[in-house]
Homo-oligomer: A and B are copies of this chain.
């Protein structure tokens, strides 16, 4: 499959807009590949590097995957998204199933990291985690804390992923 390299600064609009509907975050540990839906994320620069920040709850399977193999891909739909794929990836846990197969998503061999992209979500950021920060939800304003957190294992971990490759997967 061909890949068209892109500049992040040309696609930050697309990525921030897509987060409002949901994009996929894919991880790999051993032979297991897993995608979850994310609606939160940050794109920008830190330490003079292009970095995507992903937020994953402590109790998530993706958190286990990331801590075992700290690389991920961000997979952004560009021509609409497949409702079934997003329902599977957004509601099931990969602990007990092969979400990609269930969701009908096709892994695409990556360029730099070990985690594949997804043919159905062609705008791809390959990221390598360079920093990890456990957030403390207890320090959030009360209304946000009550809305998003009930127990401590739901606190998010911020994964700062250096963007080491960025491209559009072409058919």
Q: List residues of A whose CB falls within 8 A of some B CB.
A: 8-13, 15-17, 19-20, 39-48, 51, 53, 55, 130-133, 135-136, 139-141, 144, 147-148, 158
Residues of chain B contacted by A10 (CB below 8 angstroms): 13
A132 to B159, CA, bound (A): 16
Residues of chain B contacted by A136 (CB below 8 angstroms): 133
A140 in complex: contacting residue of B42, B44, B131, CB < 8 Å:
B131
Contact B42 A44 (CB under 8 A): yes
Residues of chain B contacted by A51 (CB below 8 angstroms): 42
Of the A-B pairs whose beta carbons lie under 8 Å apart in the complex, a sample of 16, sorted by A's number, is A9-B13, A9-B16, A10-B13, A12-B43, A19-B44, A40-B47, A41-B44, A41-B46, A42-B42, A42-B45, A42-B53, A46-B55, A47-B147, A53-B53, A130-B140, A130-B144
